[in-house]
């Protein structure tokens, strides 16, 4: 067992410097290609709302999942181009890029080997797993991501119900995995389990990136509440958040 989790990180309660987040690294805004925005009109509403809460750059991340969302690098980039053009027409000034949220399935290893991967800032590979069942290939895929020269970035680790022992978070960290936590988990949007683990990850300094995981306008409304709350500032007491470095 790791001694890391015997107690929370103890830091003097001094005023917290909270830099603007500026960059979002997880959302579903290209219309009609996954479970996020379904129309261009909805995408533009979401972009305007995210711009209004302070984002200057959005790296939207459509799902790629063999059994559900057969997106490809090419189809995502085509959708991105259309979205960028429409945003410009509607005077939306936030910068829009695209990566992908890869589901850990048989397709991911194939894409890694073929180097057909859409990365965040040309280095971070955002991936997710089943919420319920621990993948048998988890360590193998992490190794392959690293061997390909990418940095594995696990999307919303707080939401995986198969992680019952918090020691597992530190074990994944020792394997080289970075963590992207959803801001709305602190709101309770994904339930008590996700909220508890989000707070745990924050208080133990394990968060690397924060994401909106925006699919709909209600989530942006919750996001606005989190970004203006003490909960958000407390994240910076314990964690070094890398989002602003991507601007």
Q: Has residue 11 got a pLDDT over 60?
A: no
Which pLDDT does position 13 carry in this prediction?
63
The whole-number average pLDDT for the span 146-156 is 98
pLDDT band at 1 (very low <50, low <70, confident <90, very high): very low
Which pLDDT does position 105 carry in this prediction?
95
Cα–Cα distance, 27 to 220 (Å, whole number): 11
How far is C-alpha 152 from the chain's CA centre? 12
Which pLDDT does position 228 carry in this prediction?
92
pLDDT band at 6 (very low <50, low <70, confident <90, very high): very low
pLDDT band at 10 (very low <50, low <70, confident <90, very high): low
Which pLDDT does position 31 carry in this prediction?
98
The whole-number average pLDDT for the span 149-175 is 96
Task: Read off the pLDDT of residues 80-137 as tens digits, 9 standing for 90 and up.
Answer: 999 999 999 999 999 999 999 999 999 999 999 999 999 999 999 999 999 999 999 9
Q: Has residue 69 got a pLDDT over 80?
A: yes
Domain 20-246 belongs in CATH node 3.20.20.140? yes
């Amino acid at each position: 067992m790791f001694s890391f989790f015997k107690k929370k990180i103890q830091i003097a309660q001094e005023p917290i410097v909270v830099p603007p987040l500026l960059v979002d690294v997880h959302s579903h805004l290209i219309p009609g290609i996954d479970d996020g925005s379904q129309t261009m009109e909805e995408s533009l509403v979401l972009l305007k709302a995210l711009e209004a809460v302070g984002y200057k750059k959005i790296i939207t991340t459509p799902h790629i999942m063999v059994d559900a969302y057969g997106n490809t690098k090419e189809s995502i980039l085509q959708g991105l181009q259309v979205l960028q053009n429409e945003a410009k027409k509607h005077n939306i000034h936030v910068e829009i890029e695209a990566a992908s949220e890869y589901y850990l399935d048989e397709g991911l290893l194939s894409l890694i080997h073929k180097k057909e991967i859409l990365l965040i800032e040309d280095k971070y590979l955002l991936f997710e797993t089943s919420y319920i069942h621990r993948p048998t290939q988890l360590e193998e895929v992490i190794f392959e991501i690293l061997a390909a020269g990418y940095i594995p970035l696990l999307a919303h680790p707080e939401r995986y119900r198969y992680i019952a022992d918090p020691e597992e978070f530190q074990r994944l960290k020792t394997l080289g995995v970075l963590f992207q936590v959803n801001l709305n988990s602190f709101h309770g949007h994904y339930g008590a389990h996700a909220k508890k683990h989000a707070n745990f990850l924050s208080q133990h300094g394990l968060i690397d990136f924060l994401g909106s995981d925006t699919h709909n306008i209600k989530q942006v409304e919750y996001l606005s509440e989190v970004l203006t709350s003490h909960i958000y500032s407390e994240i910076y007491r314990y964690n070094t958040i890398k989002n602003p470095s991507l601007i």
